Amino acid sequence: MTHRRDFFKRSAVFATVLGAPALGLAATAPAVRERTLRMYNTHTGESIRSTYWADGRFVPDAISDINKLLRDHRNNKVAPIDPTLLLLLDQISTDVKAGSVLHIISGYRSPETNQLLADTTDGVARHSLHLDGRAIDVRMPGSPLSKLRKAALHAGGGGVGYYADSQFVHLDTGRVRHW
Ligand SMILES: [Zn+2]
């Protein structure tokens, strides 16, 4: 699967960047042996506490668990999530409040689901990065949504969408832009 290999290649680059002192997590990067994300899927009710990074590399089993949690809940299709997105999410959420449980509104979206949403909902992109496993919609209960948005903009790791009415922030690893 070249698709997945590309993900890991790009992630390795990003991880190297994280090793430089410029970025948020980076100051402690050499000492960080493990990275853990806690997530709750608001549609399925599933929770996960996943140490997806240990001793300088991604942990494939943990990544698989995360991929499953972030599946398209409408048809249970699982697809690889860009590990760079996990690093970005980790950096941003740690910046807001370390150790928080992230509530996931949307992760991977299959083409069928995206079509359905695009037909019925305003503001859903036809070629959403959710289709590529490169976007996630998230909130952090207990922390203001505006703080999450600010941390995401500060990280500058891709797209940031602010959806105050629906109470989530969209993050992706595409072009740096915001709306
Ligand atoms: Zn989104």
Residue 18 clears pLDDT 70, i.e. is over it: no
- pLDDT tens for residues 114-144? 999 888 888 777 889 999 999 999 999 999 9
Ligand 1 centroid to Cα of residue 131, in Å, is 10
**pLDDT for residue 14:** 54
CB 166 within 8 A of CB 105: yes
pTM for the model stands at 0.84
% residues pLDDT > 90 (the chain): 75
CB under 5 Å of ion ligand 1: residues = 135, 137, 170
CB 173 within 8 A of CB 133: no
CA-wise closest residue to 174 among 108, 128, 137? 128
**pLDDT for residue 23:** 43
**pLDDT for residue 30:** 57
Residue 24 clears pLDDT 70, i.e. is over it: no
Residue range 2-178 forms a domain whose CATH class is: alpha beta
Ligand 1 centroid to Cα of residue 78, in Å, is 17
